[in-house]
Structure 1
């Protein structure tokens, strides 16, 4: 999608918080958390979506909004899931919708309806009555409005990261989901990663003892892609680095740690404080590699190269979440979890898993062990069931397809989502909360309780019991 809405002054100033909340906290004590955690009341008749199953669908009919690199790459994965069909595709560039439809036909799939050519094409598509699930893969600034419109159209929604970038938008999605009785969930594929799900099982089996801390993030040298004139349409992702100092995209590492800690399921995030390094990487890359007539020379980069969030939880745990995409470094989501009896560190080097582990009483001599045998014993049932199909049908090591397969299975079997709107809002709240903290010189801000108190009750999430995909036909 190429149309760019105006960016709010609050976000430009780094204050992407609920209206008035940040301003009331400026004069507080140096170590007091700013009251960004205000919980608005429910409207009459509005009820929680916790524990609400999908209605049973014989076939899940998917519509896709946004057919750039991510959206076009996911279209065939949806169509490959048993009992799922893509009925409509949309992009403001109509030719992209046509190419996506052509690819589906080439794979023997029915041709989906095509929408495009205008900024409101997606809204016209959502008036159709042959759509059950909307997958949204547009630039971040469109996610809130498009996700909200999908819910109001009576559809469930799976939204790429983040589902929204401001607290008021996150609350709006929670409330809209509760009013429409439709689910909206973050397309957090890394929560379905093989290492991440094995880590989750080990944590919930008590292998790490009492969980004390976790460390995750998104560390990815995107400089070449950010300055590409074709990869991110209209340079939308690079432009975010000119708008705010914030942790723009920490969810890939934050979400698996939050799941292992049962965030929203017996614990919750309470405060967040952020720090940022100077914004040096993008300007340095531009100076060395971009011609002087390139549009990027009109830009000023304000977002720190490394933004770190320190998050406290109600149960006394600590999460460190990082975002770094403008410096030279190998890819990592960090994915580290520690407790009273051991620690796991991912992205540590060679080996079949790329991870290492130290658990008592197995280990001695202060030496790490390969994670591989532990993962074999703790493999999540989803990887045992669809891991081979995932390798053939999905990107990112197969976790894209596992996310898609599980979403369709949940809808066809009428089960409760693994990831709900409350998880999605909590994980994505790190974006506006980091901006708010950095605007206060790194002082802590409150994390809202999107569950409105329901976090205290343990419940299942990604640690699901094995279930089958209903037969097709």
Structure 2
């Protein structure tokens, strides 16, 4: 651990015993879970006061989406860079909403947590800050919505879980792909038994980010994502592919992931790109000679009930985008990327039959809010459905769709895949963050509106919708 990272964590209270003392970070100590956050109903919040921390790549979009949801007020905005905060303020004022309180600088987020009355902290910062900020926010009395992943180490994932249980504050990792249209369709079909019993599932994040990761002007602040590809050698971004298939397999609510093996190619592109960039611009000299993670990581996972999952991660190769979503059951099959398809035998069903399945199995949530979500945007609407659904649950006193155990178990694949790769693809055990409660937890049905209760009814006016763009 670098001295800068250690100093930061000390400042955040992550390594101190302040506010909430936690047991020693080992499996034996964690076995004594005092509270199960699965299905937990927090007190209703009529108006959800929100602070958004991190206004670089993802934060401004979150500010925009949240501003459309009834029963919300963005009370604070924070980023290291003051100009980003100022720019985000214009999103609010441009819609006739009042400015939020502004915070900036390296410790601005800590000051924010001390000074503001907040119900929900929405975190969109670089990965290394996710766990410390989530923990500090829950200790400060707020629920948390955090971009992926929720933690980068096994220790961080455990501590996020324990603080959520101790404070009884929700900590939802913002896995937006669980709310995409085909993923929700297949989840509903799975729950209705259309595929029989699922046997195997696959997910992926294959996205050529090579140019963006090496973009010093319009890329990630201080090249942080490139630096993560130097520090860690494994599947660094598993949750987009894993989240939707884990829900279909009832992971943490009827089954659990027990162990994995990961195999990875060597790096064939990032090191060479660093050398090419440095030859043109001395700025890139510090990235020359580093050992980068490989192009493609393939991780295989086994569950307690004998089912398997395959995850893939490649953000450097020049190939088409793919967030593979594949379900294979005893009665049927579904796959997304390169195109959507469903089969109940040797070949995919025809287009008219697909339309019929969409009409019959499109979830209530999509029927209710899907068209407005497309207008507001955020990866075609799935971001807005995710945000709307979270606010709906907080306002109506409902269990959230993705409690802390989901974020922890999906994120822990990052360090465990790195461990397996480092050990020449040896088997690595996956912790049970539910501490056995997966046997009794009931699956959450994220396809319903308010779990069958009356939800809030946000509307995008005709005048507004003319100005909205879909991502």
Q: TM-score, normalised by structure 2?
A: 0.87
Q: Give the structure 2 partner of residue 310 of structure 1.
A: 300
Aligned CA distance change for structure 1 residues 126 and 389 (closer, same or farther; 3 Å): same
User: How far is 1:297 from its partner?
Assistant: 3.5
SS in 2 for 1:58: coil
The answer to whether structure 1 residue 390 and structure 2 residue 373 are counterparts is yes
State the Cα deviation string for residues 407-449 of structure 1 (Å, max 9, x = none).
1000000100110000110000100110111121111111000
State the Cα deviation string for residues 134-181 of structure 1 (Å, max 9, x = none).
000000011111000000000000010101100000000000011111
The answer for unaligned runs of 5 or more in structure 2 is 8-24, 459-471
User: How far is 1:368 from its partner?
Assistant: 4.8
Q: Give the structure 1 partner of residue 128 of structure 2.
A: 141
The answer to whether structure 1 residue 374 and structure 2 residue 364 are counterparts is no
Aligned CA distance change for structure 1 residues 376 and 284 (closer, same or farther; 3 Å): farther
Q: Give the structure 2 partner of residue 49 of structure 1.
A: 37
* Rounded Cα–Cα distance in structure 1 between residues aligned with 2:291 and 2:398: 45
Which one of 308, 316, 321 corresponds to residue 311 of structure 2? 321
Mean Cα displacement is larger for which, 71-80 or 147-156? 71-80
Which one of 238, 244, 250 corresponds to residue 250 of structure 1? 238
The answer to whether structure 1 residue 342 and structure 2 residue 332 are counterparts is yes
User: How far is 1:187 from its partner?
Assistant: 0.4
Which one of 90, 100, 104 corresponds to residue 116 of structure 1? 104
The answer to whether the Cα contact below 8 Å between 1:54 and 1:410 also exists between their aligned partners in 2 is no
Which one of 170, 190, 195 corresponds to residue 157 of structure 2? 170
SS in 2 for 1:316: coil
The answer to whether the Cα contact below 8 Å between 2:332 and 2:342 also exists between their aligned partners in 1 is yes
* Rounded Cα–Cα distance in structure 1 between residues aligned with 2:220 and 2:356: 40
Task: Report 1:50-129 matches (<5 A).
Answer: 50-117=38-105, 119-129=106-116
Once superposed, which parts of structure 1, at least 4 consecutive aligned residues long, lie more than 6 Å away?
A: none
Which one of 336, 340, 358 corresponds to residue 343 of structure 2? 358
The answer to whether the Cα contact below 8 Å between 2:271 and 2:292 also exists between their aligned partners in 1 is no
The answer to whether structure 1 residue 418 and structure 2 residue 408 are counterparts is no
Task: Report 1:216-295 matches (<5 A).
Answer: 216-229=203-216, 230-287=218-275, 291-295=279-283
The answer to whether structure 1 residue 469 and structure 2 residue 455 are counterparts is yes
* Rounded Cα–Cα distance in structure 2 between residues aligned with 1:39 and 1:263: 22
Backbone CA RMSD of aligned residues? 2.1
Aligned CA distance change for structure 1 residues 43 and 113 (closer, same or farther; 3 Å): farther
Bigger relative contact order, structure 1 or 2 (CA pairs below 8 A, ≥6 apart): 1
The answer to whether the Cα contact below 8 Å between 2:365 and 2:448 also exists between their aligned partners in 1 is no
SS in 2 for 1:241: helix
* Rounded Cα–Cα distance in structure 2 between residues aligned with 1:221 and 1:251: 17
* Rounded Cα–Cα distance in structure 1 between residues aligned with 2:348 and 2:32: 56
Q: Give the structure 2 partner of residue 17 of structure 1.
A: none
User: How far is 1:207 from its partner?
Assistant: 1.0
State the Cα deviation string for residues 350-398 of structure 1 (Å, max 9, x = none).
xxxx3011115xxx6x455444432332112111111111112121010
The answer to whether the Cα contact below 8 Å between 1:418 and 1:464 also exists between their aligned partners in 2 is no
* Rounded Cα–Cα distance in structure 2 between residues aligned with 1:200 and 1:438: 31
SS in 1 for 2:405: helix
SS in 1 for 2:424: coil
